[in-house]
Structure 1
Amino acid sequence: MSLASQSFAEKVEPREGAGNEGVKRFKAPYLIYFGDIELTGYAKTGLGLIEWRRNLCIGQYRTPQCSIDSGLPDMTIEEAVQAGVGSFVIGVAPAGGYIPDRWLQDLVKAARAGLDIISGMHARLTDFPEIVEAALASGARLFDVRTPPADLPLGTGAKRTGKRLLTVGTDCAVGKKYTALAIEKEMQARRWKADFRATGQTGVMIAGAGFAIDCVVADFLSGAAELISPAADDDHWDVIEGQGALSHPSFAGVSLGLLHGSQPDALVLCHDPTRVYNLGTERKQPYPLHSLQETIEANLLMARRVNPDARFVGMSVNTSQLPLSEKPALFERLSAETGLPVIDPIKDGAKLIVDRIEKEFLL
């Protein structure tokens, strides 16, 4: 058995036909591990996986100290093995991305039972000899989702066949992943050829393919984005998960690399109307968000460097922190300001945006 921590370079391979056939690498179904986490924000990996791939998730594993309840049945590792679980997924992402010592006995037990371990943490599973030993003994595989491939190409900017949509934002953590997934869902409901292309660790777990692009060395960002969305049928859409924001002083680099490498035909602007400053800058040096028009213009300038026909087709707004009564007026104002259809991907789905894509590209 080959145990070395497996990156996801090999998870993005040439398509077979129109869809994602042949690129899935995780062994389903999954047992989601929440450990002893108490804050919902730290459980976004597992909750996101359950939200979008519920059919693959069979149960949750929690310690008595855990206050997160995803609604899945609680299972022991023994029960999971009997139920045919294939993978033990670390469903949490605490600050710092470390794996605390108190989790090791659970991870070792799962690996010893033959369950693959899937982790999106900054800490590597293979840094823990006891986990490695247990996996070697049972034949379990260890997947470190945040390990980038070692042989990424430089971006070329060469035109590729197929269509691509990239979600971009006024800030980081404004719903780019959920927006892309909602668009993929709506496209597939219309029987379009469409695939969600993951660029972050939670997205990789949802898609079963891709890699965390923010771990890639800067010179290879655009090449990584080209690899994630290779040439396809002319009527196939890659719906690419965006990262960061061009205006964010910390994360603009990965956003630009994705814009150039994705070569998007269509862009969707993601926004949180409750934000005033770029996330994480509030205390030391606050950076006000750019306006919607500034964000649109900056992204179009960079996108049109590699695709002169790039255009915005919609706006996605996270309204989770707003009173429901404020939503209609807000959406009317934002649509008038941008000229774009506006959705909340969780509450509304992506019908209006896909309607716009159909009008712009198919009719």
Structure 2
Amino acid sequence: IKEAADRNRCQLFDVRQNTETFATGKGTKRSGKRILAVGTDCSVGKKYTALAMDKAMNDRGYKSSFCATGQTGVLISGRGVALDAVIADFISGAAEWISPETAEDQWQIIEGQGSLFHPSFAGVTLGLLHGSQPDGFIVCHEPTRTTMRGVPAPLPTIQQVIDLTVQCGQLTNPDIRCIGIAVNTSALGEEEAKAYLAKISEDHNGLPATDPVRFGMENVVDHVASEFGAP
């Protein structure tokens, strides 16, 4: 790759490295609205869910932007920080930098990382949760897994993720709430997927459940409108 870049007089960038100096997180309430994608595990669709939610929000007339927290997200959006390359003490501060104070009608849709239940990556997840200070969060899930990726730890339930995210997130936003569930149904047939999503919604007090790839995020945007108001 370096030889090809030299031949073509191109400059290479390592998006895991950045020139920013981040402060520690302060947890001070800031204006604007934020939605964070969280997960029952790693690699369950948090980035795609955030991107799909950002598009659906903009299509509906909301002022929305995607905030990348991983290297692929940075390549897609052109800005952001790979949080897993940030020194631990500054993760929440970097998350505050990614999703700064904005106008009250501006929404920031923040790419999630890891899982609060993953023994390897929960620290990054918690720092991102505290720093992003979300008003709402979407739980991302893959229904065929029984253990966390790469470790023998059992997969948590969606309700366990909702409960712990609310408990931890209230430190920096007492009004945090779950606004939807995004499920990767690629291992299920379409009718089976629809039935599974209906059951998930029923089991979680009517929260909208969807597969962002198959069915889009419109029902989650409907819920945002009912909870926070139309654009």
TM-score normalised per structure 2? 0.96
Residue 193 in structure 1 maps to residue 63 in structure 2: yes
Match of residue 9 from structure 2? 114
Q: Is the 8 A contact 1:148 1:213 kept in 2?
A: no
Aligned to 1:258: 128
Q: Partner residue of 1:63?
A: none
Q: Which residue of 2 aligns with 1:209?
A: 79
2:5 and 2:12 in contact (8 A); partners too: no
Matched, 1:334 2:204: no
Q: Which residue of 2 aligns with 1:120?
A: none
Distance 1:246 1:109 in 2: 41
User: Contact conserved, 1:160 with 1:230, CA < 8 A, in 2?
Assistant: yes
SS of the residue corresponding to residue 335 of structure 1 reads helix
Larger radius of gyration: 1
Deviation of 1:192 after TM superposition, in Å, equals: 1.4
Following the alignment from structure 2 to structure 1, what is the Cα–Cα distance between the partners of residues 147 and 214?
25
What is the CA–CA distance in structure 2 between the aligned matches of 1:111 and 1:159, rounded to whole Å?
47
Mapping 1:260-299, distance limit 5 Å: 260-281=130-151, 286-299=152-165
Indicate the structure whose relative CO is greater, using CA pairs within 8 Å and at least 6 residues apart.
2
1:109 to partner: Cα distance: 2.4
Q: Distance in 1 between matches of 2:18 and 2:142?
A: 29
% identity of equivalent residues: 51
d(CA) in 1 for partners of 2:179 and 2:4?
48
Structure 1 runs (4+) deviating above 3 angstroms are none
Report the TM-score, using the length of structure 1 for normalisation: 0.62
Shift of 1:150: 5.1
**Aligned equivalents of 2:35, 2:50: Cα separation in 1:** 8
Deviation at 1:176, TM superposition (A): 0.3
Of 167, 183, 195, which aligns to 1:301?
167
Q: How does 1:124-273 map to 2 (within 5 A)?
A: 141-149=11-19, 151-273=21-143
Distance verdict in 2 for CA 1:293–1:321, change over 3 Å: same
Q: Which residue in the other structure is 2:186 paired with? A: 320
| Residues 268-303 of structure 1: CA deviation (Å, up to 9, x unaligned) | 00000011000101xxxx111111211110000011
Structure 2: segments with no counterpart, 5+ residues: none
Paired amino acid for 1:217:
I
Structure 1, unaligned stretches of length 5 or more? 1-103, 116-140
